[in-house]
Structure 1
């Protein structure tokens, strides 16, 4: 292989892939995005951007429409613990609206796109080739079930005992709060995110199978609010959520976002982390060890907090989580601020 079609090939044209492409163009690099699906692409997603994710988008020149999110509430029956962010708000944004805003910004910056699926990957000392494109570097931003991760030999088996899944449904109803509400039921958590003046997203997380109607019935307070709400579009599912990697780099390949490893959606930090990783990957293209260090630093709090919450949520301690948050408001506030800062 000789020569290059681009400095950077981004595999995966979702929000994280597009953010990585924008980062590369802002750094003066030529970029091609390989994505077989026409956009905007919808998928199972909680759709709540934490404050740092909103800040990251602003730096990229992206301002998607949505609803301000002032904080997070944990709810179980009549018990409720809530904390409002000490700093700027987050934002509830429909996945398709976020995708469209990022795609418009990438196109305006001159990012090229090829409608192709990666089936093989070849690299040498000077570059990497995939989807018919030769580039100096490849960023694998192709999600939970990353083909790049597998082809680069970076996949590691995830433990079966903690397999969790997610299903999201949009419902036509006026939001009743400016918080992300997490309703804790016997086996699932229901994340309610305002995303429009008459639309909320409800994402259910837990073990399979997840029957949305049956699970919502197990959240009586929430079910009452949604009793007359009509679904807006089909349900979307994802999982298993836990994904592990041996490393985040292999030669000229860098894994970014969910492709680089994922614990759970419980803390809603996926996009914030993906944007931070995209910036680090572009900044450290020629420093594999530096990117590994940056990845660990960016995900450290997320991995610790999310692993702890998932362990509690899948144990006999589950019923005690919301009562503990109510009794220990400073601890709950501190955890929420970890997500926000």
Structure 2
């Protein structure tokens, strides 16, 4: 007979590892299933907003990175920036963040098993993973943007919006700004994140499918600063970015992180939301109130979802998109308030 755990966490990215860490500290017998070897990389902007920095600190985790003073939008010759009011953000390589979380989970005594989970079976008292000999009272689907568990349970909702995609690459060059720069183009945005004394990350969010270099050429100022010979990593991609789930709880399965639903990377809050969602999930399992998790998830993500939905809609309107930066220039207090609301 297989041993029964309190919690099986499917997925060993930041959302899954944070869930496992919160669960271990709450006294829950937890195991993580993750087939990829650590550290796990992913196409992302690699900028942690101040909220994520504080959440990691509250977990007692120290992550090395490059301080980020705020957000700067660039559109041609126009520039508008907003500083973070409540502490800096942090530019952190995804692999470095994953290493810190992974080591903390192992140190907490949580096993990370090299298992790929694509379907689960549940009954009135628990959830099991077929063929793996794993069973627990609850299972957390933290298996990413295209969650196999979410799909196997029939929880995916088709989006009617045009798809957007993300591409990321690193360049060996000194950061020229303490801000995350968001360069606005006709078909998307380019995010430049300072990651170290001689390293920047460039993430492209776009509604066009084309190679990274072709996409970068649409931002002439950046292309001039970032010649191909300074690229030090291969291109990684992700998408379609927008994913919806019917619910965050299905019987004894709870969804967290990107698996729980994702609007867009436009506001760079993925890690912040993953940490907030993980904390809310574990607290409800600990209290025996799993029925409250859906409402708590909506509460902690509401501001992000509403603002991101609004910004994406504006950015996808060909008439309105070119007006975003000029409007922010004319209304700097509003722009600063929005940036800090998201931070």
Fold conserved between structures, TM > 0.5: yes
Where structure 2 has 5 or more consecutive residues not aligned to the other structure, the ranges are none
1:24 CA displacement? 0.2
Is 1:319 matched with 2:318? no
What pairs up with 1:45-60 in 2 under 5 angstroms? 45-60=44-59
**In 1, are the aligned partners of 2:2 and 2:134 still within 8 Å (CA)?**
no
Q: Report if aligned partners of 2:166, 2:205 keep a CA contact under 8 Å in 1.
A: yes
Match of 2:304 in 1: 302
Number of positions where the alignment pairs a residue of Structure 1 with one of Structure 2: 338
By how many angstroms is 1:227 displaced?
A: 3.1
More moved, 101-110 vs 143-152: 143-152
Q: Is the 8 A contact 1:173 1:229 kept in 2?
A: no
Q: Report the CA distance between 1:325 and its aligned residue.
A: 1.0
Distance in structure 1 (CA, Å) of the matches to 2:153 and 2:60: 32
Q: Cα offset for 1:214?
A: 2.0
User: 1:208 offset after TM fit, Å?
Assistant: 2.9
The C-alpha deviation readout for 1:67-116, integer Å capped at 9, x for no partner, is: 01110010001100100011111100000000000011111100111111
Q: Is the 8 A contact 1:172 1:229 kept in 2?
A: no
Whether the 8 Å contact between 1:4 and 1:127 is mirrored in structure 2 is: no
Contact 2:2 2:133 in 1 (8 A): no
Secondary structure, in 3 states, of the residue corresponding to 1:162? Answer: coil
Q: Does the CA contact (< 8 Å) of 1:172 and 1:198 recur in 2? A: yes
CA distance in 2, matches of 1:282, 1:124: 20
Q: Deviations over 1:227-250 (max 9, x none)?
A: 376111211000000001111001
| Alpha-carbon distance in 2 for matches of 1:28, 1:299 | 26
Which has the higher mean CA deviation after the structures are superposed, 56-65 or 251-260?
56-65
Q: Distance in 2 between matches of 1:216 and 1:253?
A: 41
Please tell me whether the aligned partners of residues 80 and 329 of structure 2 are also in contact (alpha carbons under 8 angstroms): yes
SS of residue matched to 2:90: strand
The alignment partner of 2:174 has SS state of coil
- SS of equivalent residue, structure 2 residue 39: coil
Between the aligned partners of 1:135 and 1:185, the Cα distance in structure 2 is 48
State TM-score, norm by structure 2.
Answer: 0.96
- Asked if the contact 1:77/1:220 (under 8 Å) is kept, the reply is no
The answer (yes or no) to whether the contact 1:170–1:202 under 8 Å persists in 2 is yes
Deviations 1:242-279 (A, max 9, x none): 00111100111100000000100000011100100000
TM-score (norm. length: structure 1): 0.96
Q: How does 1:176-325 map to 2 (within 5 A)?
A: 176-227=176-227, 230-285=230-285, 286-316=288-318, 317-325=320-328
Match of 2:22 in 1: 23
What SS does the aligned partner of 2:140 have?
A: strand
Q: Which runs of 5+ in 1 are unaligned?
A: none
Q: Which residue does the alignment assign to 1:65?
A: 64
